[in-house]
Amino acid sequence: MKFIDDIDIRGKKVLFRFDFNVPLDSSLNITDDTRIKAVLPSVNYALDEGARVIIMSHLGRPKGKPVPEMSLAPVAKRLTRLLGKEVRMAPDCIGSEVRKLVDDLKPGGILLLENLRFHGEEEKNDDRFAAELAGLADVYIDDAFGNAHRKHASNVGITKFIKRCGAGFLIKSELSYFEKALDKPARPFVAIVGGSKVSGKLQAVGHLIRKVDKMIIGGGIAFTFLKAQGFDVGKSLVEEGLMGEALEVIKAARELGVILYLPVDCVIAADKSPGAETRIVPIQEMDPNWMGLDIGPATITLFSEALGNAKTIIWNGPMGLFEMDAFGRGTTAIAHSVANSYALTIVGGGDTDVAIHKAGESDKITYISTGGGASLELLEGKVLPAVAALEHCGDAVRG
């Protein structure tokens, strides 16, 4: 696979796939432009090379039809401000009008195509749609890490129809950090896995248990592990069908000499409402009619001490229902412990990213991934479909 700086893009029409699925408020103003800023190095490199820059992305889930509230127009406005030069907005991502706008681009010009998902063919990985996108450019560069675990026309199908393609600087850095942590970690290597459902994290836990020295399991997924060991966890979230696999992870940790940490106490409530009464109880004293919604203070101390001598930390998933203040103390405390460690720290995207920013610790983290689903698949030991596709540029063209 090649990267953008391995390819001659001077004066070429370069089609970028970015992940500009950014949050918008009710007035359609961007409330967090992290994903836009993350790809600026790739854009600026192309501009410095005198390339004609064409950008495509998705936003939201319009389900294959134009939805004005999901237009990428706010992104064009924000890009214009960040780059200090005009970013033209196309009315669509394919069609004769778009082709004319592309043909009219001068070296150093930038055109942002309209939301890819206004066409149902995008998520279906339709060959005709992919070929039409490919026909817009000489070179294709994928820098949409947040979408790299998807098999869509704009990041997988397109590579068959264009002869020159590669990855941008964002994907390069994402892959580099995860490779460094997973394949050549400084030890002790600690993984923190949280979140709500075991089903979404079990593959990652099973893969990581064979690589780490310590594993910390918190959040909703911990209750499946606890119940599998015979604890009464009340009405806490449990995936009964996965308790056997949870026990296999515990067994594997024991056989491999990996220290596995689970909560020893938790914050419980009768329901998830913000004003619900809360109590802190040891795991052995769970109320059968209440549910665990955060790790307790003893667990915070235990987990924090486990991180004390870490040299590499990977964290994916919060320790509780952190969106509510009553159940957010555990996640915030672990964020502080990770940030204040003397380790290489990598945080998976999604909720964990939000939690780190909410705790005010983002500046102390070595690397915060821009893709929750994509980073999770890397932790599962999988090859991302969009990354794999870049190794087969132009298969259909040559065939």
Active site residues: 35, 197, 350, 373
Name the token pair of 251.
């067994």
Determine how many CB atoms are found less than 10 A away from the CB of residue 284: 9
How far is the C-alpha of 276 from the C-alpha of 25, rounded, in Å? 28
Pick from 56, 277, 30: nearest CA to 154:
56
Q: Which residues contact 372 (CB under 8 A, 6 or more apart)?
A: 146, 316, 348, 349, 350, 351, 352, 353
CA distances, 337 to each of 44, 305, 307, 356 (Å): 36, 9, 7, 11
- Contacts of residue 13, defined as CB under 8 A and 6 or more positions apart, other chains included, come to 51, 52, 54, 102, 105, 136, 137, 138, 139
- The helix (run of H) or strand (run of E) holding residue 17 is strand 13-17
Total count of residues recorded for the chain = 399
Nearest to 139 by CA among 69, 197, 72, 53: 53
Largest CA distance in the chain: 70
Structure tokens at 361: 């610790």
Instruction: Please name the residues in contact with 301: beta carbons below 8 A apart, sequence gap of 6 or more.
Output: none
